[in-house]
């Protein structure tokens, strides 16, 4: 795993713990998604969610910086965010 992915992983693990959610336990999925976030950062200058379409509207795009403004609501409603990076924790995974 690349160093920049390890650093990002630690940031998102901290975010998940602080917010009572979990990262997807599938390490391959997480690494794929983190790569997507880093690619968007290289392309657009921000860590946008890999599952969100970036538009030419700066204000609108701000909502898509990962974890995006929809993350917590999606986890509450569906048990996961749109891209499955974050999940509702099962009782034994908190």
Give pLDDT < 70 ranges for the chain. Answer: 1, 91-94
pLDDT at 93: 54
DSSP H stretches of helix in 1-94 = 3-19, 27-44, 58-62, 71-78
Number of structural domains in the chain: 1
**Among 67, 53, 54, CA closest to 11:** 67
pTM of the model: 0.88
pLDDT at 78: 97
Angle formed by the axes of helices 3-19 and 27-44, nearest 10°: 110
pLDDT at 18: 96
Read off the CATH number of the domain in which 16 is found: 3.90.460.10
pLDDT at 23: 97
Residues 6+ apart with CB under 8 A from 33: 24, 50, 83, 84, 85
State the residue range of the domain holding 28: 3-93
């Amino acid at each position: 795993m690349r160093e920049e992915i390890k650093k990002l992983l630690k940031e998102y693990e901290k975010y998940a713990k602080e917010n009572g959610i979990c990262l997807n336990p599938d390490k391959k999925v997480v690494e794929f998604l983190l790569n997507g976030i880093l690619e968007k950062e290289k392309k657009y200058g921000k860590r946008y969610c890999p599952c969100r379409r970036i538009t030419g509207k700066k204000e609108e795009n701000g909502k898509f910086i990962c974890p995006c403004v929809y993350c917590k609501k999606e986890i509450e409603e569906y048990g996961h965010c749109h891209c499955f990076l974050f999940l509702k924790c099962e009782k034994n995974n908190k």
